[in-house]
Structure 1
């Protein structure tokens, strides 16, 4: 549970902490919540100097500085600051905080505790176990979820100060002479709104939409983790940031006659990999195995292939502990209208779903195979649509790849929308949710999916795909348009779809290699949605 007095103390510690470095702020602009800042831009805020790590708008430097966050703290301003950025004196701050604390405690679930805590100091990345005690920022905490407590992402899970600390930790007591009260009522009207503010959300992203039985959070960040080094490097699953909700492991190998195999990269240890999957699942993450990829194939031409495919997939799921499967068959897999792989894949997924009733199923086709059916309905154009239609009851998430294939023709305008634009992203999602005419209406219509079954699919950065990159600002605008009808461009939905699921990217590996330029701005934005 959130403890409001800890939040108040954490804010005070973050804003008014003393830094040993001094920076001349005379020529630095004062940070503005409406300003747009690019990487390397320096500002002053509350008598401190900060530098932007990447594009940012609205992220307060006082609460968004640190490892993998929008800002770096450069140090305290040396006195040559703008008068609008200088806070009250430290003595008045200390007095104010003491006054708030002493006058606010009306009832308490535990007694006042004095003196220092004996528990060890919290350190990000340490392997903590459930119920283990640590101290941080002047208070003692008990670990509730070991995986989150042990995260390397201090900005998210550092007890008392991280953005999501109370998902991992429970406050035990103050390490000073302050009550560890869990019920506070301020006697000071000027501070009551701060002291009593807390969140009662029981799950990330709020309440799910009617009919949504998916294990996903309401708004999800999905990433492909690839089991090979294409220049981005191979990383352990344990090192994948907690901001990712779904980790899609790419890819399964075609072992012939319908059989599939999963061959782990030689740089990784199999036992450790299996343990890492279990740990991620224990943290509430979804880890699935993907078929296909750019060069990947499956053999699904006859009944024998189908039986072998299902049995070998089930064996991999049982051995490694995957939550489900992802279908990412591309040009090399022979997905064409009328090809046996389509109906046999439908049959395979239904058989696997009967063996594993909670099987997670996702798809990541390229957009010619899906929305391309609006232009033509033969060959590859719209070839995934029969598979999507027949698996709509089993399908958890469809994230069409909006890259490496140029612009998108839609029913909403005569011209194609260019890749990376807000209009293309919004239009592509609306087609999947609201349905669209096939071959300009000559081949019938595709019936739309639920909005919670749809997500955008985009490259994580400039090196992750050959084309189709979108700025994180445009991605967030598109999601904002779809969920809240704000930030739209020319394509404006007829109504908001607040249950729209989120964003997928290729890839987690490239995102890490590029300094998390995708996951932090997009993942953080998704967490702000209702």
Structure 2
């Protein structure tokens, strides 16, 4: 008969729980010259250690818990006798669980010499909560205590041999926020100059980066465009359990001279970091996404590495994240040294803009992941970027779909090249298999309708069937018709004319190619050709 014993006495401190010796017989000794990546295990002195990210020449005994690269798993068995083996099967590492909900904890236990297993102890935060003496070894714990908890299993055989599993981190949350499994990240950039906070699908995101905060050459910061919008974003995102970072830099017309100047000196970096930390804390942000586009190989790369290391120390001390947007691959990628990998929580790979036509192919995504991971970036820190816009027309995906619903299910309409739902789903699956998350530029380019690209990749992350079928059975049949929403096209000027002579202002409408468009801001571009316009209806 299976019995589960609540470890009440242990929890109350009335009995002691023996320390488990680990079987290190299959582990190699740590070597200072060897490169280790996240998840690799070593033996060093008398203990077992697991690398949390890329590392080289960092002594595990000196660089272990809580914030360093190595995690100490425990003391190795001094005798060398065969020990039982135990492995955690559930819950998933970095998973989230609603408070008061049941959490299934499962383990597999065996012995290399077939010595019978006596029991498996299950621990939460180093306290034995239950014991199971019969396979399959599993218990149910009621999630208590908001925040992070450490889950571990420990096995005892009939010869009183003992061994421990690796540790897994879970988070108990207050709200029923749907998040991808295993810490999979879904990141969206949200610009200051377009898009509405109310349109964001927060339930399908883990991180949002507000774009962009610009530095000056002396390390001071320029005033943020549309600060009130960012404050609204932070409030709404936090209410939904989504983290918000400030994206610093951006393309900025190719001008990175401010970064080059302040990053080249100790004083400049210190001034920048001091100002940035004050900004982050003042506005209750969760972290920073560094978008220096781009540090070049050489002295610029060295300065970038110093900047990221120094900024990481300050952010980590406050419990904040540090990420960076990086080029997909190639020469410019050399501006990001491998040492940066250990300073960031993850890198956002901008696997788009490869050319001016088919700029974000599936092969380009594969090549980008291979490039960065080939240099030592761990799977967990690899976040694949996808575009929500087209080239060379620069039209937003939502505009393309509003013009023709069939555009949702293809990657080109003949003039614009982009990623439709099938490609986005394929890339999301690639990210799920080979990376730690998926990112997009940018959220306001998406549609909130059934053909949403964010929904498509979120469904893949959740293991759900597609809600929008690309076989003709799903989605709207045709673009919104003006007559259906009582819009009279005849009241608007026809392009190439503009309402104000040579331009249109925000909110003004214009006719072009049997469609009505509305300006998002001051513009004199061709209606529908870029993000300055939104499609209204067709006539």
Name the one with the larger strand percent. 2
For Structure 1 versus Structure 2, the TM-score category normalised by the shorter chain is: 0.3 to 0.5
> Looking at both structures, which has the greater relative contact order when contacts are Cα pairs under 8 Å and sequence separation is at least 6?
1
TM-score when normalising by structure 2:
0.44
User: Computing the radius of gyration over CA atoms, which structure comes out larger, 1 or 2?
Assistant: 2
